[in-house]
Structure 1
Amino acid sequence: MKKPLIIAGVEIEQGQSCQLELPVAKLYTNTEVAIPVHVIRAKRSGPTLFVSAAIHGDELNGIEIVRRLIKQPPQLIRGTLILVPMVNVYGVLNQSRYMPDRRDLNRCFPGSAQGSMAGRLANIFITEIVKHCDYGIDLHTGAIHRSNLPQIRADLGDEETLKMAESFGVPVLLDSTVRDGSLREAAVRRGAKVLLYEAGQALRFDELSIQMGLSGIQNVLSQLGLVRKKRARKKIEPFVANRSDWTRASASGFVHEFVQLGSQVEKGEVLAEINSPLGELIQQVVSNRAGIIIGKQNIPLVQEGDAMFHIAYFGEADDDVFEHIEIMHEQVMPVSTSMARPEP
C-alpha cells in the first residue's frame, strides 16, 4: 500500500518532487516566516530520510550542501528524501546561532505548540518532518571562530546507526550520546536513526566540508538502498575515536599556532605559544596525549581557560587516521571545477 506523505497540508505522491513552505510564525512587521522544504519521492516505497541544515542560523555549510543536492537531485529508486536547507530561518536572517528569543533551538526539541518561539518551531519540525522519517542527517559546523574537521557524531552502539556512520565516508567517527533537547534526541526517541555531521566554521563556506558532506549523504542514500550503488573512489576508512578532549589555554594572550586542523600530534608536542602584546612568551600549549586535531579555535586571542584545540584519540590507529585525512583532502575537487562560472 502506498504511504501518504502530507507536509504543511500538501500531499506528495510517490514519484513526485515538490518544493513547499512550512509556515512558522510572523515577525513584528507582520511578515510571514516559513521553513523551505524540498521533497523527492521515488515511485517505489522505501524508507524516508531527512537532511536538515542551519538549526543554528550561523552554520551555513549545510545550506550549501542542501542547495547542491536540490540542484543535482539524487535519482531515487525507492523511498523518500526530505531536504530542509534552513530550520532556524530567524537565525539565518540575523546571521545568529540563536533564535530571536535567545534560545538555542537545538536544546528546545521536541518543543510545544504552546511554548516559546523556539519551542513552537521545534514542535512544527518534529510533527511535520521528523514524524515521517526513518533516518536523518543533521548538518552542523563549528561555533563562531571555531573550525571542525569533517566528522560524524552518532550513537555508534546502535548497529544500524554505526553502518550509516561508516558508510558516510569521513575518517573520524565520534561515539556521541544524545544531548537533552536536541533534534537528534527527539528524532531517536521517535525511532529514527540519526547522524550529526560536523564540519567547517560558522558564517563561512568551506569547500572541503561541503564536498565531504555532499558525498557522505549520497553514500548513505546508497547504503540504505534509496539510490543505485556507484563505483566508489579511493575508500576513506572511518575510525572511531575512543576519546576526545579540548586542550585549554593556561594563560591569556596572543596565540601563535604550530598545528592545523587534521594535524597528527604527539604527547608533549607544543601546539601553540601564548605571548604578551609586547612579544614576551607567557606559556606554551602542550598536547597531553597523541592524537588528531579535529577542532580548533581560529581567533588568535585567548583568555585563560578558553578551549583551543579539540584532540581525538585513536590509540595505535593515529597514523592510519592521518593517512585517510590526507586521502579526504585529495578527493576534493577545485572550486573552479565544481562551481564553474555560468554563462551570462
Structure 2
Amino acid sequence: MSDDNLNSGSPIFEPFEIGNTTSLPGRRTRIEIPLARLPSETWLSLPIEVLHGTEPGPTVWLSAAIHGDELNGVEIIRQTLERIDVKRLAGVLIAVPVVNVFGFINQSRYLPDRRDLNRSFPGSAKGSLAARVAHIFMSEVVTRCEFGIDLHTGSNHRTNLPQIRGDMRDPRNRVRAEAFGVPVLIHSETRDGSLREACRKRGIPVLVYEAGEPLRFDDAAIELGVEGTLRVLATLRMLDTSPCNDRHAPREVSDSTWVRARRGGIFRLRVGLGQHVGKRQPLGVIANAFGDQPMSATAPFDGIVIGHTNNPLVNQGDALIHLARIASE
C-alpha cells in the first residue's frame, strides 16, 4: 500500500521511536522534546504528535510555524489530524504544529536572538539558539522521513494567494503539488540555510504551502490547506480516501517579481489576490494623506497577483504587489 517512489522498507509494524519515546502501531503518541531553558529556568519543548499506522507505508512529516507568527499552518495541522483515523493509516505521520516555539510565544517571525530559523538549517548542536532548534528538528523529525509538507504564510504585513513552492523538476514533487489543488505552482530554487535546502542535500523532497498572512487565521486558506494535505497523503497511499478535488487545475508560474514603491506615502491597493492584470495596468496609487501628488504602481507584464502588502504606509523601495507570470501565457 506504499508509494513506489518512497522507501517502504522501514519496520512500520515495529514500535517507532522518536525523542526517546516509543509510538506503537495503531496509536497516536504525543511527545515533547526539550529545546532550551528560558531565563526563568522554565523549559520550552518542541510539541510533536506521531500517528503510527497499522499498515506499511512511508514516513512523512507536517510542519508549521517555522516562522513563529505564521499561524495558518498550526490550524491546518490540527484540522488534518482530526480527520485521520490512525487505524486506517498506512505508514507514519509526524506532525509538528509549532517548530519555532520561541517566536510563536512572542508573536514574532524570529527567535529571541533575531535569527530567522528558516536560514539556520541544518543547524548545530553547539551553535546559536536558532541553530540548535534547527538541529533538533532535523535530527528528530526530518531525517526519519521520506517526504515533508511545510506550511507558511506571507510575512511582514503581506498576504499570499494559496500556492505551492518546490522543485517542480522532480516528477514526484510535481505529482504531489498538482494533487494539493492550489491556484498556482511555483518552481523555486532553494536558499542557503533554508529547510528545503537542508532537505535537498539529503535527498528528501518537500513541498511548501504558502497562504494568507501572519498573525491571522484565514478560513479559506486553512480549508484548502487541510484538503490539499489530505489529498497528498492519499497520493502517497497513506490514506484510502481523500477530499474530492473540484478545483481547476493549478497554473504554473514561470517567474515572478515584486512591484516596489517608487516613493513613500500611503498606498491604496486597487487589485486583489488571484486577479489577472495586464502590462502597465495600475495596481494601486501612492499619495499623501490628502491624496495629493498620486503616483501609480503599474504591472511590468501580464500576470496574476500572488501576494501583496496589507500595510498602506510605505517607504520608497517597499514591496507592494507580488506579480507572477503564468508559464503558458
TM-score, normalising length: structure 2: 0.93
| CA distance in structure 2 between the partners assigned to 1:63 and 1:99 by the alignment | 17
| CA distance in structure 2 between the partners assigned to 1:197 and 1:262 by the alignment | 16
- Which of 13, 21, 33 is equivalent to 2:44? 33
| CA distance in structure 2 between the partners assigned to 1:220 and 1:46 by the alignment | 14
| CA distance in structure 2 between the partners assigned to 1:231 and 1:294 by the alignment | 25
Q: Do structure 1's residue 129 and structure 2's residue 141 form an aligned pair?
A: yes
Q: Counterpart of 2:150?
A: 138
Q: Do structure 1's residue 222 and structure 2's residue 242 form an aligned pair?
A: no
> Following TM superposition, by how much is the alpha carbon of 1:281 offset from its aligned partner in structure 2, in angstroms?
2.9
| CA distance in structure 2 between the partners assigned to 1:108 and 1:77 by the alignment | 33
Task: Please say which of residues 132-141 and 61-70 is displaced more in the overlay.
Answer: 61-70
Q: Counterpart of 1:163?
A: 175
> Following TM superposition, by how much is the alpha carbon of 1:245 offset from its aligned partner in structure 2, in angstroms?
0.6
- Which of 284, 288, 306 is equivalent to 1:272? 284
| CA distance in structure 2 between the partners assigned to 1:61 and 1:267 by the alignment | 32
Q: Counterpart of 2:316?
A: 304
Q: Do structure 1's residue 21 and structure 2's residue 32 form an aligned pair?
A: yes
Contact 1:45–1:79 at 8 Å: present in 2 too?
yes
Cα deviation per residue 1:63-99 (whole Å; 9 max; x = unaligned)?
1111112333355431111110100000011000000
Contact 1:251–1:282 at 8 Å: present in 2 too?
no
Q: Do structure 1's residue 172 and structure 2's residue 177 form an aligned pair?
A: no
Q: Secondary structure at the match of 2:55?
A: coil
Q: Secondary structure at the match of 1:215?
A: helix
Contact 2:46–2:101 at 8 Å: present in 1 too?
yes
Q: Do structure 1's residue 67 and structure 2's residue 78 form an aligned pair?
A: yes
Q: Counterpart of 1:96?
A: 108
| CA distance in structure 1 between the partners assigned to 2:224 and 2:242 by the alignment | 16
- Which of 248, 251, 257 is equivalent to 1:236? 248
Cα deviation per residue 1:246-304 (whole Å; 9 max; x = unaligned)?
11111111112211111110111111111122321331111111111000001111111
> Following TM superposition, by how much is the alpha carbon of 1:229 offset from its aligned partner in structure 2, in angstroms?
3.2
Kindly, what percent of the aligned residue pairs are identical? 45
> Following TM superposition, by how much is the alpha carbon of 1:315 offset from its aligned partner in structure 2, in angstroms?
5.1
| CA distance in structure 1 between the partners assigned to 2:290 and 2:316 by the alignment | 18
The alpha-carbon distance between structure 1 residues 73 and 315, as it changes in their structure 2 partners (threshold 3 A), is closer
Cα deviation per residue 1:151-182 (whole Å; 9 max; x = unaligned)?
00001111111111111110200001111111
Q: Counterpart of 1:187?
A: 199
Q: Secondary structure at the match of 1:214?
A: helix
Q: Counterpart of 2:61?
A: 50
| CA distance in structure 2 between the partners assigned to 1:49 and 1:224 by the alignment | 9
| CA distance in structure 1 between the partners assigned to 2:245 and 2:66 by the alignment | 31
| CA distance in structure 2 between the partners assigned to 1:127 and 1:185 by the alignment | 15
> Following TM superposition, by how much is the alpha carbon of 1:16 offset from its aligned partner in structure 2, in angstroms?
2.1
Q: Counterpart of 1:247?
A: 259
The alpha-carbon distance between structure 1 residues 94 and 268, as it changes in their structure 2 partners (threshold 3 A), is same
The alpha-carbon distance between structure 1 residues 259 and 303, as it changes in their structure 2 partners (threshold 3 A), is same
Q: Counterpart of 1:292?
A: 304
| CA distance in structure 1 between the partners assigned to 2:327 and 2:134 by the alignment | 39
| CA distance in structure 1 between the partners assigned to 2:243 and 2:193 by the alignment | 39
Task: Please say which of residues 117-126 and 10-19 is displaced more in the overlay.
Answer: 10-19
Q: Secondary structure at the match of 1:209?
A: helix
Q: Do structure 1's residue 118 and structure 2's residue 127 form an aligned pair?
A: no
> Following TM superposition, by how much is the alpha carbon of 1:15 offset from its aligned partner in structure 2, in angstroms?
2.1
Tell me the matched-pair count. 317
Q: Secondary structure at the match of 1:65?
A: helix
| CA distance in structure 1 between the partners assigned to 2:21 and 2:136 by the alignment | 15
Q: Counterpart of 2:221?
A: 209
| CA distance in structure 1 between the partners assigned to 2:89 and 2:63 by the alignment | 21
| CA distance in structure 1 between the partners assigned to 2:241 and 2:129 by the alignment | 42
Q: Which runs of 5+ in 1 are unaligned?
A: 318-344
Contact 2:181–2:245 at 8 Å: present in 1 too?
no
Q: Do structure 1's residue 153 and structure 2's residue 165 form an aligned pair?
A: yes
TM-score, normalising length: structure 1: 0.89
Q: Which runs of 5+ in 2 are unaligned?
A: 1-10
> Following TM superposition, by how much is the alpha carbon of 1:243 offset from its aligned partner in structure 2, in angstroms?
0.8
> Following TM superposition, by how much is the alpha carbon of 1:47 offset from its aligned partner in structure 2, in angstroms?
0.4
Q: Counterpart of 2:272?
A: 260
